Each structure stands twice: as C-alpha cells, then as structure tokens.
Structure 1
Amino acid sequence: MRSIAAVILGGGRGTRLQPLTTHRSKPAVPLAGKYRLIDIPISNCINSGINRCFVLTQFLSVSLHSHIRGTYRFDAFSGGLVEILAAQQTLATEDHTSWYQGTADAVRKNIRYFTDHNTKYVLILSGDQLYRMDFSEMLKTHQESGAAITIAAKPVHRHEATGLGIMKVDETGRINGFVEKPTTDAQLDEVAMDPSWIDSLGVTANGRECMASMGIYLFSVDVLVEALNATSDSDFGKELLPRAIAEQHVQLHPFDGYWEDIGTIGSFYDANLALCRPDAPFFLGEADAPIYSRPRFLPPTRADGAEIKGSLIADGCTIHPGAKIENSIIGLRCQIGSNVTIRDSIVMGADYFETPDQVAQNATRGGTWLGIGEGAVVERAIVDKNCRIGAGAKVACNSTEDIDVDQGCCVRDGILVVPKETVIPPGWIAKSV
C-alpha cells in the first residue's frame, strides 16, 4: 500500500450545511461529539496501510488545518504524512486568476505534489462521508481486473438512485454506462441491474437494482495524469469519469457496508443521532479499524444526579443534578446546568473552559455562561460550539420549513440550528422572523 497516494477533497463552500460551515469547511465540521468529518477518510487510509494523504482545501480552511496539524504526526522512519495543499496562485496563466473549478481541477492543479516515482496509484476520496472501508480490497480489485480506473459502488433501491450517480456494469464488473442523478423511469431502466447479478458480487441485493458511485476512485497514476492533461474537465463525476468509461477499462468495486454522504443539515443530524443507538449502523469503537482524532488532555466527564438515555457524552463535560439527556450527542467541554432537558439534539460543546471568575461574572450578567443554563430546554436542535444558552431558554422550533429565527438561529431541514458563539438570553423562546 506504500505505492498509493490518497487525495482527500476538502469540498466547496458547503452551502447546504450552513450555518455549520459559516466559519469552517465541511471536513472540519464536528462529528459524534469528539471527531471531525475529515477524521473518517484519514482513519480509513491509516487502517488500510496508506500513510501518504494529501488534503486539498480552499474555503474556510483554518480550523481544518489546525486540526490536521495537531492530530496526524508520523514518525521519521515510516515516511508517512498528511499534507495540506491549499489553493494557491502560481505563475501559470491558467492557475493565476482562478480558484478550483471542481474536483478534477483541484487534483490537476496539485498533481505534481503526489505523483513522485514511488506512486503507482492515486486514491481520490471525499472529506464529508461517513463509512469504514479497507482500501486494500479495492486495490486488489483494481489489479486483478487490469483496470485503468476503479470506482467503489454501493447497491441502492430505485427510489434512492435519483440523487446519486448510477452505473451500468457488464458480467465481468466492467462499467459500461453511467447516468448522473437519473430522474425518469427510462433513465433508471438504462442502468438498472439484475439483483441476482448483484448477489453474485458477494453482497446481498435485497431487491436493490442500482449500483451507485460512492465518490471513491482509484486511478493508475499514468492514467490519471494523462486524463487530466488531455482534457479541461473540471469535475470527476460529471465529466472526466463518464468520458473515461467510454474510452478505457473502468472497473466496479462492490461495497455494502454503511455509507452516508453528509451534505445537508438533515443528513448530518440523522447520521449523528444514529450513532447513539444501541444498534448503531456505524460503530465508532471498532477494535481493528478505529477512528482517530486529535488527542486532548481533558478530564473525564462528571455527571451528578442526571438522567442520561441513548446518548454519547464526550470528555470534559459537567452535567449538574436534575439534567435529562435523551437521544443526543454532547460534545467536548460541555457545561450543562441543573434541570436542563436535552432531547434529540446535537450540542457541540466548547473549544475552551471558562475560569471560575468568568463563570461568576457571567452569572451576574443574566446567567449566559459558556454552556447551557439552568432549566433550559434543547429539543430537535443543533447547537454549535461556544454557544451560551441562558437559564430557562427554550431552544426548539416546530417549523418544517426552512426559516430564519431571531438571535441568528435558523431552521434547516426541520432542525433548529444555533450558530457558533451565539448568545441566547435567559427565558428566550424561538420566534420566526
């Protein structure tokens, strides 16, 4: 696996994840209380024996850079690295005045950094997906089939296919057709597969007829270089790969584990709270394939007289008597006052602790100390980092439409979102404006 360079795409503006991406890029968004989304692809690489990763960034990347620098450090003998490649101006005319125009364009502008003489394959990954995969199995598929490009794919039902790229595959596993986000029955019929053939891949079809691209691509390095130099294609999924399918051997690699593309507030909320279930579809504590993150020197969480059900509690929290937490995620350093109710919510915690003097001062200013004040209710909400929820406030909203709410809060996909560093006054009740 030393011959593989992994390239992780940092994503675009992340508009569908606003306001969580107002101050950070998508891969830097917190996950499960103590991780970041970027930890997933990097951990998959490390667990697969790939220790050369390049993260391409462009938008709001400071917090992502800080997290990567503080997390992924290899010893001097392994040759491992996680290198950040930020968008930059160069002397080349085509690079001088433009940002990345798409996924393929981003790789094209940085390809010289990860295609040295030791690199035989380039693995292209997304920075905003939740899954666990052994990439050595994908390499095996690539080598045994003699493919130029291999695409990881997951079987899905027809009704799920409309938001995905669907591939048509022959009996050998070679991809010979591709439709991006099919919307009509005729388009679906063109790429639908016989479920019995999907069963023959070693995965159980269960009536699923379509093979959806996961946005995970393995290229032989010479093929990637030639494809990027020969065209001006700016995007892999929409342009470069459909062209390659028509001209070269592109192989399918089947995968049937948990996989979630976290691109919206709704998908982010659902994927996080699914981790709280006893039968969580994605297990964070896998012994043979752990999820790595930044090491923090935090005290254990302290809970006194609280009632906690079906929830994940990160390090450094203090939960006071009478608090009730149900089906929720509580992030790092979260301070939860007495008789607080948190239900069906994600509370991301804080980046720092307040001193006792600061807590006392805030108590005299209406009780908006860093955390959630006494008697407050947080329900079906996402509370971003460093927020101050005043005593008795009700952070909840029953709207099913996307609306703006006072104090800078908003409802997206039916979830009330409290942006980073928001101050909610005591007794506040959400009102739409």
Structure 2
Amino acid sequence: MHVDTLTFVFAMARGEPEPLTRHRTKAAVPFGGKYRVIDFTLANCLHSGLRQILVLTQYKSHSLHKHLRDAWSLFNPQLGEFITPVPPQMRDGIGWYRGALDALRQNRYLIERSPASQVMLLDGGLVYRMDYAELIDFHREQGAAVTCALRRQEDAAAGGAGLGIACDAAGRIIGMTLAPDTDPDPDPAQQTPAGVEAPLGAYVIDKALLLSRLDRLAAAEASAVDPASVDEGAPGAFPGVWADIGRHLLAPLIPEQAVFGYRFGGERGRVTPDRYWADLGSIDAYFRANMALLEAEPPLDLYQPDWNILTYQGQFPPARTVPGSVSGTEGIFVNSMLAAGSVIHGGGVSHSVLFPQVQVDDGAIVDEAILFEGVRVGAGAQIRRCICDKDVVIPAGAKIGFDRGEDEARFFVSPQGIVVIPKGQRL
C-alpha cells in the first residue's frame, strides 16, 4: 500500500453527457450495465495500493455519496485506509468549490495533516484502467516534482481540456499549449508542436510543492479579485479539472521544476494494456462507449481476473427470459448485456445494455439501446438507438427511435440521432 500518497478524486462538476447529468454528477453516471463512471478510477486506486482517498464532491452529490457508501465501504480505517467524500466545508468562507485548485485550497488542512509525502490528483469522470503504482514509481525514479500521465494525441478527439503537452526524449515536459477553443486568449504565434500528447487526468505532485503553489495562487487571487465579485452560487460551474490544473498549476512549474510525462498504455504495470480511455463527453460518445463493450473483442477489458471493477450490486434475483404471457413467444436476447433482476417476457433484445431490474414485455423489441435500472418496456413497444434513464416506463405499442422529427418534439436527440428519455418519465 502506498501509505505516503494521499489521493484526491475530483467528482464535483455536473459535466457531460447532458441530459444524463441532469440529476447526478458525471462521476455517478451509470455505465456498462452495472457500474458508475467513478468505479473505474476507484478500482484503479484499489488495485494500485492507494487506500487514502478523498473524493471531492459538489453538484447533486447525493447519488454519488450513496454509491460510495454502498459500493466502496470496504477499506479498514484501523489500518489508515479510507474513501471519504468531501463536499465544500466552507472553513474559510461560504463559497462553493470554484475549480479543482480552489477545492484543494479549501481542503488544505487535509493535505497538511496527512503524513503523505506526495499527492495524487485524479479526475473521477473518466473510464479507463491504469496501474497508478507504476506512475508513482516512475515519478520517484525521475526525481520529479510533478508527473502528468499522458495519452496519445489522436485520443484527444475523445474529449478533454484541449491541452497539448510536449516532452523531450527523456520524458521531461518542455512545453504546453491550449487549443484555441479552450483558451480565451490564444496566441496565434504559438502553435501546437508536432508530437504533442494530451493529459490523461492523473497527476502526482510533491506535497510540499503543492502547498507552496496553493499559497501563491491564493495570494495572487486575493490581490487580483474582489471576493464580492465572485459568483459562488453555481456549484459545478467552473473550468474542467484538466484546464484548471494544466493552466494554473502545471504550466508555471515547467520552467522551474522537474515536470515529467508518463505515457499511458505502456508495458509497465499489472493491468492489461488495452490503452482504452474515454471521458464520455457527449451523448454520442457515451452511447459509442457502451456499444463498444458488445464487440467480440471489446476495447475495454472488463474481464481481467486480477483487475476487476468493483461496484454496488443490489440483492436482485438472476436475470432470465420467459415466454410471453399472451403470445407464448420465448423471450430472447442477442449480443447484449443483461444485469441482475432483469426479465424479458417474450420480448426481444438485441445489441443492447440492460441495467438491473429492467422488464421487456411481450412482443416488445429493444435494439441498440441502453436501459437504466428499473426501466419497463410495454408489450409491443419498439425502441432503437435510445437511452432510457432510470425508472422510465415505455407504454405498450410505442415506437421511439424511428422518426427523428417526432422524437425531437418530445425528447433530447443527439447529433447522431440517439434519443434520451429523462429519468422517471412515464410516456
């Protein structure tokens, strides 16, 4: 166990994919038939020996707090292990977290009292598998003050802060750029150099250096900003984790300190190097990521026996298919994920992801759909390329996903035609 590493997981912002984040923070969005997004970051911590974890929460955090209690109350506090949610404590004011670094500043006392010598900063809104122990070992081997995990440049299209990071042959970071769409005042003369990589969303920084930088940032903010002018009434309305840390923490340290990049997806570490990374930054990206799990060889390996992804699973009966009560037709499912408690009553499910306690009634057809917990599809209904949030009820005979104009009149429809039916809606 890395007892000398204190871990912060950022799970504060609403984020995308909207409208799935209308009732929950991004880190609590269901994924892959049984998981929540944050489960992947926390599983990485568990398998990497990181057992001192503070989860910074804010936007509509009840669902996330409940999930942390139910799924992740497995560490032993008698051994100094913990996973603790930390909403804004307002110890030095009445403000919400206004960004990743402000959240760290407001919780400075937790950093100070920790015996750790280094701090790990993780984005809890991403889906990937990684052995953080190797990142920490690399940080020590290089004698680095800060180490930033990096992913390939071509993966930047999957989402992120628009940060470009360039390293020398030894892996030391020598430059950083912000893409024009994320930099409010881009320098036309500063172009992203060839061979740049993008931040993954994981950083290791020496504790003393982090405290020093937080002091400098606080002092600069106090001298430049009138506290009365800061809008603190919109929890979650702040820059992304990567942009905040990259612009205000990492960039100023590059010319002053040994700042290194650790390349994600290498051969180091105990996790299968599937090199999968996604930030689920839109409904279309979220839909594609779930559908990719249905491929014959999915890009994200959920089946590595020594790197299982933990989550909360209710005490539901086994999933099953049964003949329809009227038609007598057998319930079938083809190339789909079917979670516990789900029952297909004579309906058909194809290329879909079903969360727990879903019911598909007699003659209903579900094709290329994601059905959250408690969804019911009525007899004879047909839905395709659709995401149904929790407890949605589709009435008998309904057709959704066939007429874009009709769907747009009632629901959110993504640019690629994915229909999203909001939580609890009974049509």
TM-score (norm: length of structure 2): 0.83
Is contact 1:72–1:81 with CA below 8 Å preserved after alignment?
A: no
Provide the residue aligned with 2:206 in structure 1.
220
Is contact 1:17–1:264 with CA below 8 Å preserved after alignment?
A: yes
Is contact 2:332–2:344 with CA below 8 Å preserved after alignment?
A: no
Q: CA deviation at 1:187?
A: 7.6
Q: For residues 304-319 of structure 1, what are the structure 2 equivalents within 5 Å?
A: 304=322, 305-319=330-344
Provide the residue aligned with 1:33 in structure 2.
33
Q: Which amino acid aligns with 1:405?
A: A
Residue aligned with 2:79, SS: coil
Deviations 1:123-149 (A, max 9, x none): 111111110000011011100111110
Provide the residue aligned with 2:413 in structure 1.
411
Residue aligned with 2:197, SS: strand
Provide the residue aligned with 1:333 in structure 2.
357
- The answer on 1:386 being equivalent to 2:395 is no
Q: 1:100 to 1:117 in 2, by over 3 A?
A: closer
- The answer on 1:375 being equivalent to 2:397 is no
Residue aligned with 1:191, SS: coil
Aligned-partner Cα distance in 1 for 2:79–2:294: 36
Aligned-partner Cα distance in 2 for 1:6–1:400: 47
Deviations 1:370-403 (A, max 9, x none): 61101111111100001111001112155499x8
Provide the residue aligned with 2:373 in structure 1.
349
Q: Determine which of 142, 148, 167 is the counterpart of 1:145.
A: 142
Q: 1:176 to 1:162 in 2, by over 3 A?
A: farther
Provide the residue aligned with 1:121 in structure 2.
118
Residue aligned with 1:386, SS: coil
- The answer on 1:10 being equivalent to 2:4 is no
Aligned-partner Cα distance in 2 for 1:320–1:419: 24
Gaps of 5+ in 1: 194-209, 351-369, 425-433
Provide the residue aligned with 2:247 in structure 1.
238
Moved more, 19-28 or 161-170: 161-170
Q: 1:141 to 1:400 in 2, by over 3 A?
A: farther
Q: CA deviation at 1:161?
A: 9.1
Q: For residues 1-400 of structure 1, what are the structure 2 equivalents within 5 Å?
A: 1-14=2-15, 16-73=16-73, 74-90=75-91, 92=92, 95-96=93-94, 98-157=95-154, 160=157, 164-181=162-179, 190-193=192-195, 210-232=196-218, 235-256=244-265, 257-304=275-322, 305-321=330-346, 323-350=347-374, 371-397=376-402, 399=404
Q: CA deviation at 1:188?
A: 8.7
Residue aligned with 1:246, SS: coil
Aligned-partner Cα distance in 2 for 1:225–1:22: 34
Q: 1:30 to 1:159 in 2, by over 3 A?
A: closer
Provide the residue aligned with 2:227 in structure 1.
none
Percent identity reads 32
Is contact 2:76–2:82 with CA below 8 Å preserved after alignment?
A: no
Q: CA deviation at 1:5?
A: 1.4
Deviations 1:281-329 (A, max 9, x none): 00212211110001421111011222322211111111112x2212110
